[in-house]
Structure 1
Amino acid sequence: MNLDLSHYWRQQIEALPVPDTPFNLLNVCGGHERSITQAGLRSTLPHWLNLIPGPGCPVCVCPEIDIALAIAMAHQTKTILASFGDMLRVPINTLQTKNFFPKKIRSLALAKASGLDVRPIASPIDAKNIALQNPTKTVVFFAAGFETTMAPVAALVQESLHGTLPGNLQFLISGRRTWPAVHALLTDDRSTSIDGMIAPGHVATVMGTHEWQKISRAHQLPTAIAGFENESLLHAFYCVLQQSHLNHPQVDNCYTQVVKPEGNRTARAILLRAFAIKTSQWRGIGAIPDSGFTLRSHFNDINARVYFSDVHTHISDVYAHAPRLKGCQCADVVMARCRPNQCTLYAKTCTPREPIGPCMVSDEGACRIWWANGMPSQTAASTRPA
């Protein structure tokens, strides 16, 4: 961290004219929210600048039905379920009133504790290695994530075309695209009115600045792409505020070290070769057009939804008739309708040890980030907006 640059950009922000009303600045990336909160930036910036967390956590928006499906697949004979580590503790709540799974298994972690072969992994190559080491078992790779994560998953998928993928490896894909969710947030009447946006640095590395010009042009919204150090974030805050002051919305790139206008063309091409784009469900939010990745039909032989079609049909039918959990406001947090500490469950019945919603699980979940950094519940919080 460059303290001189951080100090400089704070001074530049403080020198800007004070707006007539509070300025609501949305940060899309969970990594940005973690950097902002850990550094205590909210307490050091002008009182009129509200930093609002948004839909930047892929674990938080993974549909509950997909987690239930992963648990059901883990129950199948001679099956290993592999998933990125932060997915293991995400709870399902909808099926609990029906006692659908033995011992009230609410997560993949509890499925593992019950004796099922569930394995946390750090990269797609780990799933391939598990399949190579267990040739007599079916290995299901449950892959959730945004564009950055899904690009290496797509590369692994395409190994099936070259005969280098183990024949016992199946894919349960639950990948999502970022900008359609931001568009949905900005057109949601229930969301907080947003005056500017910090676009996600990692996603922009793959998709480029052009992806975020769609948002800037469609919504006339001042936007900047930021890295994860304080100086990059503060620079991006200043750029957005300056755009607003000049009434000249555009996309400023404050992460030029890795983000280029065209992004990573190779990664984008790999994504498009492996995945089709479809309308997809986001947990608690509903269907968002063109927001999800699904395996293209010529990869049906490695599509776990096809391989375990009876399991997929059964879980889908159960979810179609199951009651929904009331009280959890993770979807409202993701869609900027409320702050984490405004949820009535936050830090009370919902904690990282006993999470009710997904936002309290992942390191990129706003509730988990706020809780880990001592942000109090709303009853004890400062009256200053978050």
Structure 2
Amino acid sequence: MPQPDHPHDPAYWLARIAELPHPKTSRLRIMNVCGGHERTITHAGLRQILPDYLQLIPGPGCPVCVCPETDIQAAVALSLRPDVILATFGDMVRVPGNAMKGKPRSLQDARVVGGHVAPIAAPADVLALARQYPDKQIVFFAAGFETTAAPLAALLTRADLPGNLTILLSARQTWPAIDHLLQDEDPGFDALIAPGHVATVMGARQWAFIAENYDLPTVVAGFTPALLLQAIHAALAQVIARESRLVNAYPQCVTDEGNARARHLMDRVFDTIDAPWRGIGTFTSSGYALRPALAAHDARERFPEAFSDDSTLRMGMPAGCDCAAVVLGRITPSACRLFGTGCHPDNPVGPCMVSDEGACRIWWQSGAPTTNRQKLAV
């Protein structure tokens, strides 16, 4: 086991943080973008062992949470067609929408009434489905960030792509959401922990704009408690020194430019478009769309009728749900009006309680109190 004086031990970085001069503020807010980071921070209890002036804020790092209502209801409609098998990642199956009374609210509800829904673990799994059921249309409902878009791009460049496979693409880029927050007079954070998984694909340099354009310390981080504490130390050191720059604290996996092959494939098959984020609004150049050359594999082109129902036009969260405010870091998960009362993993009202990357589910699993109804001090 690593010793406390070893950088792989969280105690090492806790000691380094304690040695730093006090930043001369009663509150220092650090946002972590990634749901994986939030899971480590919460389950390792990092908030409880860091200095009181530090406030770690979960940010918009859950792709399931921001998947628009239009796409959820279109996926439900497609799953109910007798000629379609709808494939998607497991956590997407339970995400609730705002369907009209008597209609399925989620893909799980659709299964109950005869919908054909196949949970999968990776994009390549849909190839097996398409080959196993050549007489069916296989629709892959692909919600995710860049780490999902990259393997999907590799799939779509295969020469043997089955003709009965189409993609309902609902993938997003992460950085536009942070750029949106930073355009506010008070974005709600003073430094940023950037997502290590996204940076392995897109490169650390993608996050340099935060330091360069908005004068905020930015650190790309890994996912163990020690790596996250190292990133927090790097952010604090910048605040104390009154510096703002990009630091790659995850060089084990992240380079400045990222995975050149993956980025090439993504550029080859995707256009970037203005895209809606559920309950929040439309962010410029934040979404991926299949290029026209792949129209034969685009579910939006093959099944336009699934997107024409008026019931798909609502974009918000369910009544009483504060997931949008949680995603933007405006309130803590336990400050949601429904957290732990009407909304919990066995009965998720909003998407943040469904996914393992959703802040509400993470906080619930860690035993967060249901009595904290205070907004973050933003």
Instruction: Provide closer, same or farther for how the CA distance between residues 196 and 308 of structure 1 changes in structure 2, counting only shifts above 3 A.
Output: same
Q: Does structure 1 residue 149 correspond to structure 2 residue 148?
A: yes
The size of the alignment, in residue pairs, is: 373
- Alpha-carbon separation, structure 2, partners of 1:24 and 1:377: 22
Instruction: Provide closer, same or farther for how the CA distance between residues 321 and 61 of structure 1 changes in structure 2, counting only shifts above 3 A.
Output: closer
Structure 1 runs of 4+ with >4 Å offset: 321-324, 383-386
Alignment of 1:11-50 (within 5 A): 11-18=15-22, 19-50=24-55
Q: Quick one: which amino acid aligns to residue 121 of structure 1?
A: I
Q: Does structure 1 residue 362 correspond to structure 2 residue 355?
A: yes
Alignment of 1:38-187 (within 5 A): 38-93=43-98, 95=99, 98-99=100-101, 103-159=102-158, 162=159, 164-187=160-183
In the TM superposition, what is the alpha-carbon distance from 1:156 to its structure 2 partner? 1.1
Q: Does structure 1 residue 291 correspond to structure 2 residue 286?
A: yes
Contact 2:70 2:314 in 1 (8 A): no
Corresponding residue SS for 2:284: strand
Instruction: Provide closer, same or farther for how the CA distance between residues 108 and 284 of structure 1 changes in structure 2, counting only shifts above 3 A.
Output: same
Instruction: Provide closer, same or farther for how the CA distance between residues 223 and 2 of structure 1 changes in structure 2, counting only shifts above 3 A.
Output: farther
Corresponding residue SS for 1:376: coil
Gaps of 5+ in 2: none
- Alpha-carbon separation, structure 2, partners of 1:190 and 1:105: 39
Instruction: Provide closer, same or farther for how the CA distance between residues 70 and 15 of structure 1 changes in structure 2, counting only shifts above 3 A.
Output: same
- Alpha-carbon separation, structure 2, partners of 1:109 and 1:207: 33
Q: Which residue of 2 aligns with 1:341?
A: 334
Contact 1:141 1:170 in 2 (8 A): yes
Corresponding residue SS for 2:308: helix
Contact 2:279 2:315 in 1 (8 A): no
Q: Quick one: which amino acid aligns to residue 198 of structure 1?
A: I
In the TM superposition, what is the alpha-carbon distance from 1:29 to its structure 2 partner? 0.3
State the percentage of identical aligned residues: 47
- Alpha-carbon separation, structure 1, partners of 2:15 and 2:225: 14
Q: Which residue of 1 aligns with 2:239?
A: 244
- TM-score w.r.t. the length of structure 2 is 0.94
Q: Which residue of 2 aligns with 1:264?
A: 259
Q: Does structure 1 residue 197 correspond to structure 2 residue 196?
A: no
Contact 2:332 2:376 in 1 (8 A): no
Gaps of 5+ in 1: none
Q: Quick one: which amino acid aligns to residue 325 of structure 2?
A: D
Q: Quick one: which amino acid aligns to residue 48 of structure 2?
A: S
Contact 2:279 2:317 in 1 (8 A): no
Q: Which residue of 2 aligns with 1:9?
A: 13
In the TM superposition, what is the alpha-carbon distance from 1:321 to its structure 2 partner? 6.7
- Alpha-carbon separation, structure 2, partners of 1:68 and 1:320: 9
Contact 1:23 1:48 in 2 (8 A): yes
- Alpha-carbon separation, structure 2, partners of 1:135 and 1:22: 59
Q: 1:5-43: per-residue Cα shift (whole Å, max 9, x none)?
A: 311211111122222230000000000000000100000
Q: Quick one: which amino acid aligns to residue 133 of structure 2?
A: N
Structure (1/2) with the larger helix percentage: 1
Q: Does structure 1 residue 206 correspond to structure 2 residue 201?
A: yes
Q: Which residue of 1 aligns with 2:343?
A: 350
Corresponding residue SS for 1:46: coil
Contact 1:89 1:108 in 2 (8 A): yes
Corresponding residue SS for 2:94: coil
Contact 1:179 1:215 in 2 (8 A): no
Between 51-60 and 216-225, report the one with greater CA deviation: 216-225
- Alpha-carbon separation, structure 2, partners of 1:322 and 1:46: 39
Contact 1:47 1:384 in 2 (8 A): no
